[in-house]
Chain A
Amino acid sequence: MMPVVGYISAHSPEEGEPRAAAFRRGLQEVGYVVGQNVAIEYYWVEQIDRLPEIAAGLVQRHVNVIAATSTSGALAAQAATTTIPIIFETGSDPVRLGLVANLNRPSGNVTGVTSLIVELAPKRLELLHELLPAAGVMAFLVNPTDRALAQYQVREMLSAARDRDLELHVLNTRGESDFDAVFADIKRLRVGGLVIGVGPIFVRGINKLAALTAHHVVPAIYQYRTFPAAGGLMSYGSDFLDSYRLAGVYTGRVLKGENPAELPVAQATKFELAINLKTAKVLGISVPPSMQARANELIE
């Protein structure tokens, strides 16, 4: 009988498909072709509060592997089973999240890939501050309903702001319908720069956020180049599609019989800085040649 992978995504099918395609490429690299020798059941879960029920359903259905491609999805799957192998794709530190005991030797039924995008949030603050040395007040945008991810990010960012002697306002948003109100707060608080947090609602709303940062003249940084490509100022992060590909490779290896407890957590190694020079000019920011030289992509 064909093995079945339960694939949990935090995105809609349309947003999530490029990621799922990368996951399938990874599976294929280790010999699994969907429809030929493996089946994937896709769960597109934009409602975080339904994750426990969905994870429990996958356990009940005895899928062979759960591929949980979000932090909340991975935590829900972990709570649902200690026997079915779970391969996660997360942006956070899986040890601090409690997903694994040790990066090199996970020791349970859970292992996977971290793109380290949350760990890079302080670096994003640092890069933004480097462009805006006179700004003493920054803001950080986070989704409080994605609780584990939000708490983790806020902790990291407050500590980074303290280290740099910056005042940081943590602004909450639950989705695109809040964005206008958030930007009213940003103006009211006289924020010099904005770091956009990690999470599906930001992936979903990135074009609107880019438009709002341009409209309100707010220098901002995000994790993916989709932001500067849409008219935002800059981005710094890892190649997330490669993380999904690696999660596919790990899923295939577990299907072949490898023990997740003995598969070290894979970590992103390639990070990219993208800057929209046209937006910088409109915002009145001069991007020093040293930073331009460090950028992997300059959008003009």
Chain B
Amino acid sequence: MNGPMSAIGPKQTWPSALHMSAFGGKADITSAGIRFR
């Protein structure tokens, strides 16, 4: 996880891990969403 994700707030309602496989694992799952960098 990168950075102060608590700033994003309690708005996440989706299970990011469920579709992570679609991106071949080359991304960071964070509480704020999926990050590609």
Which residues on A are within 8 Å of B, measured CB to CB?
A: 2, 4, 7, 12-14, 17, 20, 24, 34-35, 39-47, 50, 53-54, 57, 60-61
Contacts and interface: CB of A to CB of B under 8 A. Distances in A.
Interface string B11-35: 1111010010011000000101111
A14 B4 CA distance: 7
Contacts of A45: 36
B33 A43 contact: yes
A147 to B, nearest CB: 17
Given A4-B14, A17-B8, A41-B33, 15 more contacts: A2-B13, A12-B3, A13-B32, A13-B35, A14-B3, A24-B11, A35-B13, A41-B16, A43-B33, A43-B34, A44-B32, A44-B34, A44-B35, A50-B36, A57-B23
B10 A35 contact: yes
A44 B33 contact: yes
Nearest to B28: A44
30 contacts: A7-B33, A12-B35, A13-B2, A13-B3, A13-B5, A13-B8, A13-B33, A14-B3, A14-B4, A14-B7, A17-B8, A20-B8, A34-B13, A35-B10, A35-B13, A40-B14, A42-B33, A42-B34, A44-B32, A44-B33, A44-B34, A44-B35, A45-B36, A46-B35, A46-B36, A47-B36, A50-B23, A60-B22, A61-B19, A61-B22
A53 B22 CA distance: 9
Contacts of A50: 23, 36
Contact of B13 (A39, A46, A53, A60): A39
A14 B28 CA distance: 14
B26 to A, nearest CB: 8
A34 B9 CA distance: 11
Contacts, number: 66
B32 to A, nearest CB: 4
Contact of B14 (A12, A20, A41): A41
A262 to B, nearest CB: 29
Contacts of A39: 13-14
B14 to A, nearest CB: 5
B31 to A, nearest CB: 9
Nearest to A53: B23
Contact of B32 (A17, A54, A61): A17
A96 B30 CA distance: 36
Contacts of A42: 12, 32-34
B24 to A, nearest CB: 9
A35 B22 CA distance: 24
A41 B16 CA distance: 8
A20 B32 CA distance: 11
Contacts of A13: 2-3, 5, 8, 30, 32-33, 35
Nearest to B11: A34
A7 B33 CA distance: 9
B33 to A, nearest CB: 3
Contacts of B2: 12-13
